[in-house]
Amino acid sequence: MLRSMDIHRQRTLSLLIWLPVLVVLTQTLVVCSLECKDQCSEVGTQNATCDNTTGVWNCTCKPFYSGPLCSECKDGYFNTSSCQPCECDKNGAVNQTCDGHGNCFCKANVNGSKCDSCNDGYFNLTAGCVICECNGHSDTCDAVTGVCSDCKNHTTGVHCDSCELYYYRDDTQGLEDGCQLCPCDDKTSTQTCHYDADYDNNTGSVVCDSCKDGYSQPLCEDCADNYFMDNSTCQLCDCNGNINLEDTGNCDPLTGKCLKCLYNTTGRHCEECLPDYHGDPIIAKNCTYSPNKPDEPTRASTSTNIITITVIALIVVIVVIAGIGLYCYRQRHYRKAPLPFWTIELRKDDSMSFNDYHNLDSSLIDDVLVAPRGQLRMGDTSNYETINS
pLDDT digits (tens, 9 = 90+) for 68-80: 888 888 888 888 7
pLDDT at 359: 45
- Residue pair 144/162 in contact by the 8 Å Cβ criterion: no
Q: Give the model's pLDDT for residue 12.
A: 66
**pLDDT score recorded for residue 326:** 82
DSSP state of 362: S
User: What pLDDT shows up at residue 366?
Assistant: 45
DSSP state of 84: E
* The predicted structure's pLDDT at residue 6: 63
- The pLDDT score that the predictor gives to residue 163 is 95
Give the homologous superfamily in CATH for domain 229-296: Laminin (2.10.25.10)
Q: What is the pLDDT of residue 182?
A: 96
| Below-50 pLDDT ranges, the chain | 2, 28-34, 298-299, 337, 339, 341, 351-389
Q: Cβ distance 275 to 265 under 8 Å?
A: no
Stated pTM of the model: 0.51
Is the CB of residue 297 less than 8 Å from the CB of residue 279? Answer: no
Q: Where are the beta strands (DSSP E) in 159-250?
A: 162-163, 167-168, 180-181, 193-196, 205-208, 215-216, 222-223, 227-230, 233-236
